[in-house]
């Protein structure tokens, strides 16, 4: 499947995001190869590779974080300048035509092409990029110059530059406010047709090596010194002839290896042995296997099928699963939110990998487990004697949120992470992993809730918290937080009991010292959890005070006032009955046992009327829940908005990076909403629906070592076991036994 766009002067940064090249480890924005042009946000990033910067508080109180981590722009190897008869190529000049950009999800290649109407004759200029999924350190870049009727000199300059800075925008809190120089040069060298720069971050002390090899059909080679090297190639180009430049770039870092420079040499030897053509062939083979096991086939009006495939391909590009990294709010496509990992990764992105590639989901959970020591320290900072509190936004474990009301106060991050661990167990049955890592996380997060909450009048209350809705902060008994905490507490006790019965409890006992009394306390708090219901309205209140606040007629506000957080003081928003995003509706979706179906329906309608959807995490939740409630028209409309959010740039900030939560939300709507696929401790259930206007869909997924496929059309619903042992599944109200066809 190919996505195509036409470049112009107004969409440069947007196309740099949409057509960036990444593989979960490395991401390179699709900036014009000829160098910086106005509007461009040039950058290359390694997942979790970061710098430490100071946080400046106007008034600093105890426990406020003093520093934060921010993703570092790493050495730039994408610059290639083309000159014909002394005149430089510029894609956006008036002399170029047919300016087309494509990405092919079946080959993993991003291709930029144009026709340069040079005064001395026309040439076609084609740039091809690839980030290898099989060898994640590798970025491949090719230039092909085809003469139509040009006859004259040609010169190519291809550079490697370690002197880079991060992007900044002082007017947008979602982006760093000041330009940041993260790297200093450690060493550099030229070895025949390879050049390398080794740089170190100034404060975090991380090292990155970037080694580039290039071959050209013209004579030339590398030259330069310090942080900047350039390969120069010159010759003559005649009508009908073609000049090619092939560039292999390897990135390595000290988070993952002891000697990045030596590792870069080793990987470069490997990729040179394989060669560019073989690497491209392997990329295509990898993606063919991936699409077979991961991509739903959607028979619906365009651009939905195309948009869904694009979204899921971007999730593959964005997500790390090596245990060192996970997925940031913008993936590896830009510097929005400074490369921080939020709850988006567990609630919105994790399900795609869990149900299609559980081994990668396990890697995402390993990342969180490795951050437990920092989470324990964070809990102590916030006055908790026991337990662990994962930071609201982080890269390496420290809290990066300078605004605690809409950041650190979102304690639900603990339950979101616990939810992912429990879902992993329910879907995979991997008790060994729960014994090794999962149970420890569940115990420490459950302990946090006992520290944070308290019993009053027979109810377990959790006060002064912020739920998912960031326009309603520091409230008592946020419904989502309490529901998620209840799930966390019960799940911790359930896992401990299961490990004990299997004789596998020693690791978690050694790591946490959890006692039987604590296990009972988890269950007592869960049973007594306050989950209020407003009898007058028949809904689940978002928190204890939400329904008493003054309503805000937000639909009467000018469209230019959205998102509201950029135009209204937080205190103005906090005192009104207005939601930025799904909150109670998300609780009903993930934890449906917290309210009966009538309450869920009335709650949906109530919150739909007061939610602006200023967050990209919101519409997908409303769409998914609408499908579960049988409102398929609203479900289809919300799914369409979710699936096309970045391709249509409907939030107006795709230039800063993709909205990975919304990308994952498109899959969540297919999986949990339309297909009705759900896993809990008692097994797998499937309850599909088909929106009007769709011919059908086919969705592959994995469950407990088996491969399955759900196919839904207007005349048929079929669930097949395509690999693995027989499986009992709940289909709607019935139980069926699936057996693989011979």
The residues assigned a catalytic role are 470
Phi, psi at residue 731, to the nearest 5°? -110, 105
- List the strands of the sheet with 683-686, edge to edge: 678-680, 683-686, 727-731, 734-738
Nearest to 194 by CA among 257, 271, 254, 255: 271
With residue 114 as reference, give the H or E element that holds it: strand 109-118
First-residue to last-residue Cα distance in the chain: 32
Distances in Å between the alpha carbon of 256 and those of 397, 539, 557, 573? 16, 49, 50, 43
Number of other CB atoms surrounding residue 742 within 10 Å: 3
With residue 662 as reference, give the H or E element that holds it: helix 660-668
User: What is the spatial distance between Cα 563 and Cα 615, in angstroms, rounded to a whole number?
Assistant: 8
DSSP state of 124: E
Do 307 and 644 contact (CB within 8 A), yes or no?
yes
Phi, psi at residue 392, to the nearest 5°? -65, -45
User: What is the spatial distance between Cα 78 and Cα 158, in angstroms, rounded to a whole number?
Assistant: 8
Nearest to 327 by CA among 370, 284, 363, 381: 363
Beta bridge partners of 161: 76, 228
DSSP state of 282: H
Nearest to 262 by CA among 204, 340, 207, 321: 207
Phi, psi at residue 474, to the nearest 5°? 55, 60
Residues 6+ apart with CB under 8 A from 59: none
Residues 6+ apart with CB under 8 A from 346: 364, 368, 416, 417, 419, 420
Cα atoms in the Cβ-side hemisphere of radius 13 Å centred on 375: 28
Q: What is the DSSP string of 608-641?
A: HTTB---STTTHHHHHHHHHHTT-HHHHHHHHHH
Tokens of 550: 């003054």
Nearest to 225 by CA among 197, 262, 184, 252: 197
């Amino acid at each position: 499947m190919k996505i195509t766009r036409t470049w112009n002067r107004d969409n440069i940064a947007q196309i740099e995001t949409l057509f960036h090249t990444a593989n979960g480890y490395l991401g390179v924005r699709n900036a014009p190869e000829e160098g910086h042009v106005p509007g461009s946000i040039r950058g290359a990033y390694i997942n979790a590779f970061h710098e430490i910067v100071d946080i400046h508080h106007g008034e600093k109180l105890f426990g406020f974080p003093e520093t934060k981590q921010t993703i570092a722009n790493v050495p730039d190897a994408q610059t290639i300048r083309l000159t014909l008869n002394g005149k430089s190529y510029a894609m956006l000049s008036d002399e170029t035509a047919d300016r087309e950009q494509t990405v092919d999800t079946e080959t993993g290649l991003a291709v930029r092409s144009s026709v340069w109407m040079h005064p001395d004759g026309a040439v076609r200029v084609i740039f091809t990029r690839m980030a290898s999924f099989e060898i994640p350190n590798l970025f491949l870049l090719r230039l092909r110059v085809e003469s139509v009727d040009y006859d004259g000199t040609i010169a190519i300059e291809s550079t490697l530059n370690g002197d880079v800075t991060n992007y900044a925008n002082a007017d947008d809190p979602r982006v760093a406010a000041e330009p940041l120089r993260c790297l200093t040069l450690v060493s550099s060298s030229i070895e025949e047709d390879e050049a390398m720069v080794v740089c170190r971050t100034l404060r975090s002390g991380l090292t990155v090596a970037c080694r580039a090899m290039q071959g050209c059909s013209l004579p030339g080679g590398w030259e330069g010194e310090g942080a900047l090297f350039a390969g120069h190639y010159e010759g003559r180009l005649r009508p009908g002839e073609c000049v090619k430049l092939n560039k292999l770039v390897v990135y390595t870092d000290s988070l993952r290896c002891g000697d990045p420079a030596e590792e870069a040499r080793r990987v470069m030897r490997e990729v040179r042995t394989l060669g560019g053509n073989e690497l491209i062939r392997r990329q295509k083979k990898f993606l063919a296997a991936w699409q077979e096991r991961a991509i739903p086939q959607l028979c619906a009006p365009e651009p939905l099928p195309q948009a869904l495939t694009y979204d899921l391909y971007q999730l593959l590009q964005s997500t790390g699963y090596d245990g060192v990294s996970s997925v940031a709010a913008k993936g590896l496509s830009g510097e929005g939110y400074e490369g921080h990992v939020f709850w988006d990764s567990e609630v919105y992105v994790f399900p795609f990998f869990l149900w299609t590639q559980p081994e990668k989901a396990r890697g995402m959970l390993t990342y969180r487990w490795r951050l437990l020591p920092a989470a324990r320290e964070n809990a102590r900072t916030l006055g908790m004697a026991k337990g662990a509190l994962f930071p609201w936004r982080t890269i390496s474990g420290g809290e990066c949120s300078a605004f605690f009301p809409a950041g650190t106060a979102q304690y639900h991050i603990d339950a979101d992470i616990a939810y992912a661990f429990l879902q992993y167990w329910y879907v995979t049955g991997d008790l060994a992993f729960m014994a090794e890592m999962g149970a420890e996380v569940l115990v420490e997060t459950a302990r946090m809730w006992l520290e944070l909450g308290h019993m009053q009048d027979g109810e377990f209350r959790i006060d002064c918290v912020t739920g998912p809705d960031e326009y309603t902060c520091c409230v008592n008994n946020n419904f989502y937080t309490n529901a998620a905490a209840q799930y966390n507490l019960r799940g911790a006790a359930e896992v401990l009991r299961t490990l004990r019965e299997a004789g596998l409890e020693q690791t978690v006992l050694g790591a946490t010292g959890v006692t039987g009394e604590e296990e009972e306390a988890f269950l007592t708090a869960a049973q007594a959890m306050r989950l209020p219901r407003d009898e007058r309205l028949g809904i689940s209140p978002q928190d204890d005070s939400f329904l008493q606040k003054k309503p805000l007629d937000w639909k009467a506000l000018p469209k230019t006032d959205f998102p509201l957080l950029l135009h209204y003081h937080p205190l103005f928003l906090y005192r009104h009955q207005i939601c930025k995003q799904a909150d109670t509706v998300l609780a009903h979706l993930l934890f449906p046992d917290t309210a009966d179906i009538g309450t869920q329906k009335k709650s949906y309608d109530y919150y739909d009327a007061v939610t602006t959807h200023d967050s990209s995490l919101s519409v997908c939740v409303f769409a998914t829940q609408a499908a579960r409630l049988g409102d398929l028209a609203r479900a289809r409309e919300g799914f369409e908005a979710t699936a096309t959010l970045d391709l249509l740039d409907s939030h107006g900030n795709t230039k800063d990076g993709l909205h990975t939560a919304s990308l994952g939300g498109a899959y969540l709507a297919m999986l949990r909403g339309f297909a009705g696929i759900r896993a809990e401790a008692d097994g797998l259930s499937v309850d599909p629906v088909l929106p009007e206007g769709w011919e059908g869909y086919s969705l592959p997924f994995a469950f407990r070592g088996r491969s399955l496929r759900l196919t839904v059309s207007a005349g048929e619903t079929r669930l097949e076991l395509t690999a693995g042992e027989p499986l009992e599944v709940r289909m709607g109200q019935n139980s069926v036994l699936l057996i693989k066809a011979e």
